[in-house]
Amino acid sequence: MQTATARRITVHRPFDGSVYGELEATDAPTTRAAIARARRAQARWAEVPVRERSRIIATVASLTLSNADRILDVIQDESGKARLSAFEEVMDTARGLRVFANAAPALLRPARRAGAIPVLTRTVEHHRPVGVVGIITPWNYPFTLPATDAAQALLAGNAVVLKPDSQTPHTALLLAELFAAAGLPEDLFIVLPGAGTELGPVLVAETDYLMFTGSTATGRTLAGACAERLMGFSAELGGKNPLLVLPDADLDAAAIGTARAAFANTGQLCISIERAYVHRSVYNEFIDKLLAATASLRVGVGHSWEFEVGSLSSAKQLATVTDHVQDARALGATVLAGGRARPDLGPYCYEPTVLTGVTAEMEVCREETFGPVLSVYRVDSIDDAVEAANDSRYGLNASIWSAHLGRSVAGRLRTGMVNINDGYAPAFGSHAAPMGGMGESGVGRRHGSQGLLKYTEAQTVAEQRLLPIAPPPGVSNETFAKVLTMGIRVLNRVLP
């Protein structure tokens, strides 16, 4: 990739702090030039039949599977996650891209709509690409988030410029390599490694739509900047996700599932569980089973499949986790499991941690930890559990463990996704359905029809035939009004 500066991005392995690689950082002028190239390429891409676009995206899905080991290595080396967590990314990408490719032709097909006057008006709804889509993605899921967001934007006929996190640029570049190998024309998917403070304003100023995944604070800033331009914006932001264990739950499954939901990806997942509300009738038994499930998790670093919990991504993440746990402990919380760093395993390793006695003045109570820390609360009733779960400015994901009550309780939760008898994977992995948050957890949705159509502008083309919707020559305004009134009355009776 050509850039105009000599500034470098150095990527370190979280496993041991060693240097993984270096590359040039993109600057603002180079970003503007890349967007201009993307805009020229997009004009040609918009004319490519949707089925051909779908074929290319489906090919990327196949290439993802055939290159899985290489992708896993790069994801792990840059993010520090366990191989099993990296595997989730690869499988999510392979399946998601195929689902999107299969759905795109029907979603983008021009659709006849009821016209203003039957027979006389022919009305068709089209979905036109917005143009150039800017995508900003984080380090915690550096492969599947840009892959799935970009795939839906490309299927809709857009070009994509991607700014990956500076910790995981090689993963994004590998993704670009797969798109190229699948036959995607040049300049339709451009990766721009560089500082967000420099590239972000250019993306807002020069692109036609911005998709962002990251913190609520940054998302709020970007949303305001996009609003100034009246451009489209979508974001998946932070979460403080709740889990409910109801009286009729299978406690063995709930304990294992809760540990997985809280500690997968070392807790560095926007939809992972950080709060568990357990009905008092099953609380003691659940706690015992949860601690056993947590103790069984193997923590370690490297490419081996043996570990369920990998490294935190950086010293910054380790500091946040450590501060939250120390603050909670100092203010009276009890550490039932974990609660300490493991530098003997890796510089940023931290044990899966279970807290009880967490109260409102503790940072861990309401602030997103984004690490392997779970707070467990005893509740007296299902109503109390729902009220506590909804007592958050966030609303991204929730989990309910229950044999019979899950569906009825799900509708009472103010979250964009609810998983019953699992933590996060069923909703996130249902690529045909929308994924996103309520409240301060986001704007808009990814996945599903909403995830694709947000990258389009709806256009209505209406053709009037034979007679205008206006008084024809020789007919008075009053007569026209009477006739049209009668016609509307008839239409309202016979047509929905």
**Cα–Cα distance measured from residue 92 to residue 98, given in angstroms and rounded to the nearest whole number:** 10
Query: What length does the chain have?
Result: 496
* 361 catalytic residue (yes or no): no
Q: 89, 206, 236, 351: which is the annotated catalytic residue?
A: 236
Q: What is the rounded radius of gyration, in angstroms, for the C-alpha atoms of the chain?
A: 26
> 283: closest CA among 337, 356, 333?
356
SS3 32: helix
277: β partners: 244, 377
**Cα–Cα distance measured from residue 378 to residue 276, given in angstroms and rounded to the nearest whole number:** 9
* 351 catalytic residue (yes or no): no
What phi and psi, each to the nearest 5 degrees, are found at residue 134? Answer: -90, 135
SS3 394: strand
Angle between helices 50-66 and 169-181 (to 10 degrees): 120
DSSP string for residues in 281-321: TTHHHHHHHHHHHHHT--B--SS-TT-SB---SSHHHHHHH
Exposure string (b/e) for 427-437, b if CB count within 10 Å is 16 or more?
Answer: bbbbbebbbbb
Q: 78, 226, 270, 440: which is the annotated catalytic residue?
A: 270
Tokens matching residue 190 = 């451009």
Please list the helix, strand and coil fractions of the chain in percent, rounded to the nearest 5, in that order: 45, 20, 35
**Cα–Cα distance measured from residue 252 to residue 400, given in angstroms and rounded to the nearest whole number:** 14
Q: Is 118 exposed, middle or buried (0-12, 13-18, 19+ CB in 10 A)?
A: exposed
Tokens matching residue 491 = 């239409």
Place of tokens 């970009």: 150
Q: Which residues are the active-site residues?
A: 236, 270
